[in-house]
Chains A and B, each alone.
Chain A
Amino acid sequence: MNQHTVKAYGDELNQITAEIARMGGLAEAQVADAIDSVARRDVALARAVVERDLKLDALHRDVEKKAIRLIALRQPVASDLRRTLGAMKIATDLERTGDLAKNIAKRALILADSEPMQPLTRSIERMGRLVSTRLRDVLDAYTASELDRAVAVWQTDDEVDEHYNALFRELLTYMMGDPRTIGACTHLLFMAKNLERIGDHATNIAETVHYEITGEDIVGERPRAQPTAEDSDPTPNISTHTH
């Protein structure tokens, strides 16, 4: 992309993009740390995650303010307009991601008081790692404007759903086997749900990146794992995607 004739305009657009990259890095770290705090029963780390969420919220507000200012003063069109609006949308997804990570950390604080449940926390850890990777991939795709990479993230959303369904079954088995674990297992179930939602936000970001680069929506079917009837999932995969 050529330089803007008015340099300050180009600088402002770049600042917004840089801020999204910073937000992305922070959101990624929040998710990873939240998962670590669950796996290691690390109370200090969980508290740090809860506190750091404020920073993500502040960055979110700042991106919105900068984007609105740029729209008001520069009247961006075409690719510049998509970039500005894309930044606003991604900032919202990242802010929500941060909220979900914070929620996981809060549950980690509660779980730290109860009996360790090694196999289950390892499953959560695996799912968390998968979701973190997707988040990192889509953010890399954003900063490098790599269309293929964004589409790849979008197409593999079913992996997260599969993980979620497997974890759901695992948790059910535990709870049926020993009703005393129901409290802890419910927290783990919410964590899994939160991770699944973070995965959805990564998918949303992939869609935004696609639109920003091409000006068009992603077309085609996204593979999707359906929860089977015996799962009797109380909250079936209600997608939070905006299509």
Chain B
Amino acid sequence: MKFRIFRSAEDQTGAGPAEAAETPRILPQIKMGKADVSEGRLEDAEPVTGPAVVDSPPVGPIKIAARDVGVFYGDKQALFDVSLDIPDKTVTALIGPSGCGKSTFLRTMNRMNDTIAGCRVTGRIAMDDEDINDRSIDPVLLRARVGMVFQRPNPFPKSIYENVAYGPKIHGLVSAKSEMDGVVESALKRAGLWDEVADRLQSSAMGLSGGQQQRLVIARAIAVNPEVILMDEPCSALDPIATARIEELIDELRERFCIVIVTHSMAQAARVSQRTAFFHMGRLVETGDTEDIFQNPRERRTLDYITGRFG
């Protein structure tokens, strides 16, 4: 299942990623962004026009392309015509006041809204040119590719080791115990938690501090080698030092993953992200490089929000 928003390079060269789309996806593979597609896209950009969204397109391969995404809870529409390119190996921050639709949009990217009765998603969301809402996509497998970290750390009431090993185990990624040990260690190391828990892997995860639990949850998410990590206010329950640790971790993780973070802290969005999208009343208002959004936004509503002028 492919669709194209922009004319891609293969239209001109005749070669390109067509074969990649046909290759059956094997889970633990991290699929690299298709640089050739995105380069063609930059030159030949014909963006689908939404209603007056101020947009300066990202540089680099696009991981997720959302087009005219709407979300309905029953009769109530929560999200309107959101079209947004999310680049790979980049942190994209979604900001906006409560109820603006940023979390709703985040949840469309791994089909978390499927679990809500009466919720309907319209429009298209493509990950590597593949429609994630297509019938052929198994949401469980999708969520292994698109991991999620929530506001409150939610470790399983099991040992630290079990928490991290759970994902690889149920997805059948690892069989041998020694191999699993390696996976757990590397995930904990990448999450910056290894040094603190190496000598008590079998103790309960519930005994960890909030910041440690949140890093454990991140380790759990990256243990299955996802391509995208969604974070819904990951630091709102943490103190400043634990927050700084997570932010440092996010900065390291972006070398390997596409990260999308919803945050109420504009300072945090400015600190951790390279791209920022501002939502207001269910619509995407402005998107651009974070430094531009926080130095000189082009849209008045964005300026009012980031400078604290929303009455």
Contacts and interface: CB of A to CB of B under 8 A. Distances in A.
Interface string A97-130: 0000000000000000000000000000000000
B25 interface: no
Interface stretch (B9-17, B179-187, B251-259, B293-301): B293-301
Contacts of A73: none
B309 A2 contact: yes
B97 to A, nearest CB: 11
Contacts of B270: 77
Contacts, number: 40
A136 B304 CA distance: 31
Nearest to B296: A215
Nearest to B302: A78
Most interface-central of B267, B304, B310 (chain A CB within 10 A) = B304
Contact of A78 (B267, B297, B310, B311): B297
A214 B303 CA distance: 13
A78 B309 contact: no
A79 interface: yes
B308 interface: yes
B295 to A, nearest CB: 6
Contact of A3 (B266, B295, B297, B309): B309
Interface string A8-24: 01000000000000000
Contact of A4 (B266, B267, B295, B308): B308
B115 interface: no
Nearest to B267: A75
A79 B302 CA distance: 11
A229 interface: no
Interface residues of A, number: 17
A5 interface: yes
A137 interface: no
B5 to A, nearest CB: 30
A216 B296 CA distance: 9
Contact of A77 (B306, B310, B311): B306
A76 B307 contact: yes
Q: Is the interface of A mostly helix, strand, loop or mixed?
A: loop
Interface string A206-222: 00000000111000000
A146 interface: no
B294 A77 contact: yes
Query: Which of B296, B306, B307 gathers the greatest number of chain A CB atoms within 10 Å?
Result: B307
Contacts of B296: 78-79, 214-216
B304 A2 contact: yes
A144 interface: no
Nearest to B292: A215
A214 B310 CA distance: 21
Interface in A70-96: 75-81
B311 A79 contact: no
Contact of B303 (A3, A76, A79): A79
A78 B303 contact: yes
Given A2-B304, A77-B270, A215 B310 contact: no
A78 B295 contact: yes
B211 to A, nearest CB: 23
A6 interface: yes
Given A75-B267, A77-B270, A78-B306, A5 B311 contact: yes
B294 A4 contact: no
A76 B307 CA distance: 7
A76 B295 CA distance: 10
Interface of B: 266-267, 270, 294-297, 303-304, 306-311
23 contacts: A1-B309, A2-B304, A2-B311, A3-B309, A4-B308, A5-B308, A5-B309, A5-B310, A5-B311, A6-B308, A75-B267, A77-B266, A77-B270, A77-B295, A77-B306, A78-B294, A78-B295, A78-B296, A78-B307, A79-B296, A79-B303, A79-B307, A214-B296
